[in-house]
Amino acid sequence: MITLTPLSSSAAASSSSEPVCYLLELDEAKILLDMGQTDYRASAQRTSWEYEEKVRELAPTLSLVLLSHSPTTYLSLYPYARARWGLTCPVYATQPTVEMGRVVCLSEVESWRSECKVEAVEDDQGEVEGKKLDKGKKPLRGPFVPTVEEVHEAFDWIKAIRYNQPLHLGGDLAHLLLTPFPSGHTLGGTLFKLRSPTSGTVLYAVGINHTSERHLDGMVGAQNGPSGYAEGVMRPDLLIVEGGRSLVTNPKRRERETALLDLVTSTLESNHSVLLPSDPSPRLLELLILLDQHWTFKLNTQTKRRPGIPQPPPGEAWPYPLCIVSRTAQDMVAFARSLIEWMGGVVKESGGEEVVTDMSGKRGKKGKRGRGAGATLGSEYGALDFRHVQFFLNPMDLLHAYPLMRPKLILAIPPTMSHSPSRFLFTALANTEGNVILLTTRGEDRTLARELYDQWEASQDENAKWGQGKIGSLQPLYGQLKVEMDSKVALTGAELEKHLEAERMQKEKEAAHQAAVDRSRRMLEADDLESDSESESEDEAAADGIVIRRAEGANAYAGDGEDVRTMSFDIFVKGQQMRVQRGATGEMARFRMFPFIERKGRKVDAYGEGLDIGQWMRKGREIEEEGETEEVREAKKRKEEEEERQQQPPEPPSKYVTEEVVLDLRSSVFFVDMEGLHDGQSIKTIIADLQPRKLIVVRSQEESTQNLVKFLDSTAGMTKDVYHPSLAEEVRIGEHVQSYSLTLGDSISAGLAKKWSKYEGYEVVMVDGKIALSAGSTIPTLELSSLVKPLVKEATAEETGEADGAAIAIDGVEAEAKPDLQTEEDVKPTPVELAEPVKEESVVQSATATISAPPSLPSSIFIGDLRLARLKHRLSTLTPPIPAEFAGEGVLVCGPGIHAGEGGAKGGSIVAVRKVGEGQVVLEGSVGRVYWEVRRELYGGLAVVSAA
């Protein structure tokens, strides 16, 4: 039984920017597919969080979490759920998704916390395993921002997997097989295939890009079969695919890259700047490779200057800096350089060289590093060298290095421009005419980037809007725009003094409370020791005859440095008094009584020596220190020094300030789609090639969903079982199937060594045996029929009073006793017509039916789905290849004779493979080499199960 419930981004979603999250219930296992979150500022503006409430409710009950991509819409809620909502199940993702996802979450968390106040988790929300957990007593309120430590801990928990490697899950998921496949779109992007022995295969395909890019190959790979896909993803029982771009037509990649580079070049050469908001990692890598190669091309090529444009200073052919402002950009590049084996495109092609491209997207000659003007020494990173990119941690560092009026290209995170640094740089550049805001994504709803995109979209012609296959035009911004700017400001003056005074009083209060707690603990421990040792000391003293009495000091209850006179006791006595000046007259004051400690015995050994546990502990530490080598001591010292250096100085007291800035928009905005996703034609082709048996459409809008469903209905040979659930709607596929386990006995296993046939990852064989139950085992064993003892006792001659071969009375009717009586499963009732009434006393109740012979097994069967297109591909891979062509629907003609008119062989070398019905195929032709090779390849695509 398969059940899918969209928790967000359903087939009827109102927005394409909703986070991605689906609940897949497969054989009683609850699997969460992705766990995204909306932008922090957009989340803070919402009034309800049904999606997050549902994830919090499900988190403790989940069996598995699969993360397919690294952008925030796929996984940014995972660290918070792991730290606060009790998510403890296994989590799987590819290694690039783990590392890039960590970078994305750290960048978002650090940027948001540096500007906005994050509410702490309430104390009444409980604690599980030392971590704060939301119990649901109070309704949730976003945004859900984890700490940096929680992000690291969450991603350290993820188990990394590799492409095309089947993984047998453990525990309650031991019956499931998980296989990841590349999906394109992002580095480490994954198609997840789950195989269940009872429910079939499920292929989760969200975030697909079938075309190759500069740093990635396309979906699955184009070298795997006639349709361009690996064997493992073909013909799934259930395909979960997104349909939101079914109405979109993408311009060619070369056209998009040319438009972007032309705009950057023209803007910089006109002495203006370009701001390009980008995500922290997934798509930033593609943009960095493209722009860095463009800078290399400009530095190595004699550039023609347009009339009226100022010439650059002598010796600077391309003086415009390429800058990126991000806290985590350098970490992202370091991680990417360690993941080159996961990449494709020019990254693998370049190796120690680089591929230089011009603005038209055409590849130039490969040149060794170090050639050309302005080039520096190369490295082993190839296209990931990024020697023209300059990294800055914050906008202040950027503006300090390059003043605001100097032309430059700035890549800043995040792409939504909801917080710094892209938001700050937008306010600095938007009021200058000639500057350009370059958008590569449409942005999420209720964000600044989406607002700018909407202005650009409204000004375009109908055929130039996004999704129409054309590149739009540059559009100037107009009017005024109010932008809320959040910042963290250090306290000064009276505010600082007030804060320090409150902090000092709080520390004193906490110290006094802790001292009282420690004093109470010491008093309780002393009372326990006194009460426990009184009887023991007296008994031992009487037995050994050795008692040592000692007087405790008056400060026995006092802590280190604590004055006894300041301690509080309940008993007041008269006695030594002194006059204390109080007020004008003064009065006599009384001292509180000193604590009196009764003398008590101390346990000693037979030689009068007491056992000092502390002495032994000190001696143990000394022995350990003496056993350490000089290298170990030096390593410890270096580690301590490193920890001291890494300790950050305490942050100065600060406050969070929000101010509203009114911008007079004078810059321009331009949009070019660089998300690296499929379009409508490609997703329809992909679905047709995969040939799923059932299909669920998710992450789509109503109009796009209907367009995709209409296409599938009108396509011959496509499945008609298409589901498009709305939000929180359950889709149930299949029925509950009871599965049973048994063990193959040694008698059967020994004869099956070379009879197994593989089919879609399974191994199939035909067996004939009987089930036997061994003592002390709950799992039955399948053994040969001759080795299984009968479960029904046969009647002997002595018991029946008859000779061998006598008949047994069954319900008053005589039946011949069968010698092969074995099990109760072989016993079948047979109706019998009675000629005359049978007397009640003549009925024997011990036997119930006659015995029938076991059914005979077929000689052999073929398992699989014969596709002539796949057979044609298999024939083309032979050595030498056998040409094949379709001669009509359901007929494939094979052999060199089909090219007789082109100089090929004549006559007798043609074989026809013809489908004549459901599950029936006919192979026609003269017996020869071609015939036997076609027959072998035909059988090779199926699982042949023989009973012999």
Residue 136 lies in a domain: no
Asked whether 773 and 783 are in contact (CB, 8 A), the reply is no
Task: Read off φ and ψ for residue 763, nearest 5 degrees.
Answer: -115, 125
Task: Read off φ and ψ for residue 39, nearest 5 degrees.
Answer: -60, 145
**pLDDT at position 181 over 50:** yes
Asked whether 260 and 82 are in contact (CB, 8 A), the reply is no
Going by C-alpha positions, the residue among 38, 33, 45 that lies closest to residue 17 is: 38
Asked whether 419 and 115 are in contact (CB, 8 A), the reply is yes
**pLDDT at position 778 over 60:** yes
10 Å Cβ neighbour count for 571? Answer: 9
**Are 266 and 205 contained in the same domain?**
no
pLDDT > 70: what percent of the chain? 72
Alpha-carbon span 669 to 654, nearest angstrom: 36
Residue 936 lies in a domain: yes
Residue 134 lies in a domain: no
Residue found under tokens 């796929």: 74
Mean pLDDT in residue range 555-583 = 48
Of 733, 757, 775, the one marking the end of a domain is 733
Asked whether 291 and 409 are in contact (CB, 8 A), the reply is yes
CA dist list (Å): 852 to 783, 823, 843? 20, 11, 22
Compute CA 708 distance to the chain's CA centroid, rounded to the nearest angstrom.
28
Give pLDDT, residue 760. 65
Query: Which residues contact residue 540 at a Cβ distance below 8 angstroms, ignoring those fewer than 6 apart?
Result: 601, 603
pLDDT band at 849 (very low <50, low <70, confident <90, very high): very low
Helix (H) or strand (E) holding 814: strand 813-816
Domain count, the chain: 3
Note the residue count of the chain.
948
Alpha-carbon span 518 to 522, nearest angstrom: 6
Take residue 535 and report the two structure tokens written for it.
């009887």
Take residue 273 and report the two structure tokens written for it.
């700047």
Q: Which residues, listed in sequence order, are joined to residue 912 by a DSSP beta bridge? A: 893, 924
pLDDT band at 675 (very low <50, low <70, confident <90, very high): very high
More confident residue, 859 or 687: 687
Give pLDDT, residue 901. 57
Of 733, 751, 777, the one marking the end of a domain is 733
Task: Read off φ and ψ for residue 419, nearest 5 degrees.
Answer: -155, 180
Alpha-carbon span 598 to 741, nearest angstrom: 73
Give pLDDT, residue 140. 82
Give pLDDT, residue 228. 63
**Are 213 and 331 contained in the same domain?**
no
**pLDDT at position 528 over 80:** no
**pLDDT at position 204 over 90:** yes
10 Å Cβ neighbour count for 915? Answer: 16
The CATH number assigned to the domain holding 867 equals 3.30.310
Asked whether 519 and 527 are in contact (CB, 8 A), the reply is no
Whole-number average pLDDT of the chain: 78
DSSP 576: E
Question: Angle of helix 329-337 relative to helix 284-300, nearest 10 degrees?
Answer: 90
Give the HSE-up count for residue 221: Cα atoms under 13 Å, Cβ half-sphere.
15
Alpha-carbon span 410 to 424, nearest angstrom: 12
**pLDDT at position 840 over 80:** no
Alpha-carbon span 707 to 11, nearest angstrom: 12
Residue 32 lies in a domain: yes
Of 691, 718, 733, the one marking the end of a domain is 733
CA dist list (Å): 178 to 132, 232, 268, 304, 778? 32, 11, 49, 55, 28
Going by C-alpha positions, the residue among 111, 37, 45 that lies closest to residue 78 is: 37
DSSP sequence for 66-120: E----SHHHHTTHHHHHHHS---S-EEEEHHHHHHHHHHHHHHHHHHHTTS--PP
Q: Among 269-273, 738-742, 769-773, 820-824, which range has the highest average pLDDT?
A: 269-273
Give pLDDT, residue 842. 35
The CATH number assigned to the domain holding 396 equals 3.40.50.10890
pLDDT band at 94 (very low <50, low <70, confident <90, very high): very high
**Are 172 and 236 contained in the same domain?**
yes
CA dist list (Å): 109 to 327, 720, 761? 11, 45, 42
In this structure, of 464-473, 634-643, 678-687, the range with the lowest mean pLDDT score is 634-643
Residue 458 lies in a domain: yes
Take residue 1 and report the two structure tokens written for it.
């039984």
pLDDT digits (tens, 9 = 90+) for 104-158: 999 999 999 988 888 765 433 334 444 444 444 567 887 899 999 999 999 999 9
Give pLDDT, residue 948. 56
Helix (H) or strand (E) holding 473: none
In this structure, of 74-83, 378-387, 591-600, 608-617, the range with the lowest mean pLDDT score is 591-600
**Are 184 and 327 contained in the same domain?**
no
**Are 385 and 280 contained in the same domain?**
yes
Residue 405 lies in a domain: yes
More confident residue, 229 or 799: 229
**Are 409 and 440 contained in the same domain?**
yes
Task: Give the long-range contacts of residues 137-143, CB within 8 A, separation 24 or more.
Answer: 139/49, 139/53, 140/49, 140/52, 140/53, 140/56, 141/49, 142/38, 142/40, 142/43, 142/44, 142/46, 142/49, 142/52, 143/37, 143/40, 143/41, 143/43, 143/44, 143/112
In this structure, of 363-377, 384-398, 595-609, 884-898, the range with the lowest mean pLDDT score is 363-377
**pLDDT at position 564 over 50:** no
Mean pLDDT in residue range 739-759 = 77
pLDDT digits (tens, 9 = 90+) for 400-422: 999 999 999 999 999 999 988 99
Question: Angle of helix 868-876 relative to helix 929-940, nearest 10 degrees?
Answer: 120
Q: Among 192-201, 746-755, 933-942, which range has the highest average pLDDT?
A: 192-201
Going by C-alpha positions, the residue among 71, 152, 70 that lies closest to residue 110 is: 152
Give pLDDT, residue 316. 60
Give pLDDT, residue 664. 93
Take residue 180 and report the two structure tokens written for it.
């990841």
Compute CA 40 distance to the chain's CA centroid, rounded to the nearest angstrom.
20
> Reduced to 3 DSSP states, what percent helix, strand and coil does the chain have, rounded to the nearest 5?
30, 20, 45
The CATH number assigned to the domain holding 70 equals 3.60.15.10
Number of H helices, E strands in the chain: 22, 44
pLDDT band at 614 (very low <50, low <70, confident <90, very high): low
Take residue 657 and report the two structure tokens written for it.
């300030």
CA dist list (Å): 294 to 232, 472, 827, 904? 39, 22, 82, 50
Residue 915 lies in a domain: yes
pLDDT band at 945 (very low <50, low <70, confident <90, very high): confident
**Are 241 and 259 contained in the same domain?**
no
Alpha-carbon span 658 to 656, nearest angstrom: 7
Alpha-carbon span 193 to 161, nearest angstrom: 13
More confident residue, 473 or 785: 473
**Are 153 and 223 contained in the same domain?**
yes
pLDDT band at 752 (very low <50, low <70, confident <90, very high): confident
Q: Is the pTM above the cut of 0.85?
A: no
Give pLDDT, residue 886. 85
Alpha-carbon span 564 to 578, nearest angstrom: 18
| Whether the bond into 790 is cis, omega within 30 of 0 | no
**pLDDT at position 729 over 80:** yes
Mean pLDDT in residue range 261-285 = 94
* Domain that includes residue 897, residue range: 860-946
**Are 222 and 293 contained in the same domain?**
no
Alpha-carbon span 401 to 805, nearest angstrom: 109
Compute CA 340 distance to the chain's CA centroid, rounded to the nearest angstrom.
20
10 Å Cβ neighbour count for 617? Answer: 10
Asked whether 868 and 849 are in contact (CB, 8 A), the reply is no
In this structure, of 56-65, 72-81, 106-115, 639-648, the range with the lowest mean pLDDT score is 639-648
Mean pLDDT in residue range 510-535 = 70
Q: For the CA atoms of 330, 334, 335, 341, what is the dihedral angle to 10 degrees?
A: 140
Task: Read off φ and ψ for residue 652, nearest 5 degrees.
Answer: -65, 150
**Are 176 and 88 contained in the same domain?**
yes
Residue 296 lies in a domain: yes
**Are 337 and 435 contained in the same domain?**
yes
pLDDT band at 689 (very low <50, low <70, confident <90, very high): confident
Take residue 865 and report the two structure tokens written for it.
């789905």
More confident residue, 7 or 282: 7
**Are 97 and 146 contained in the same domain?**
yes
In this structure, of 288-297, 442-451, 630-639, the range with the lowest mean pLDDT score is 630-639
Mean pLDDT in residue range 535-557 = 45
Give pLDDT, residue 584. 47
In this structure, of 278-282, 492-496, 559-563, 800-804, the range with the lowest mean pLDDT score is 800-804
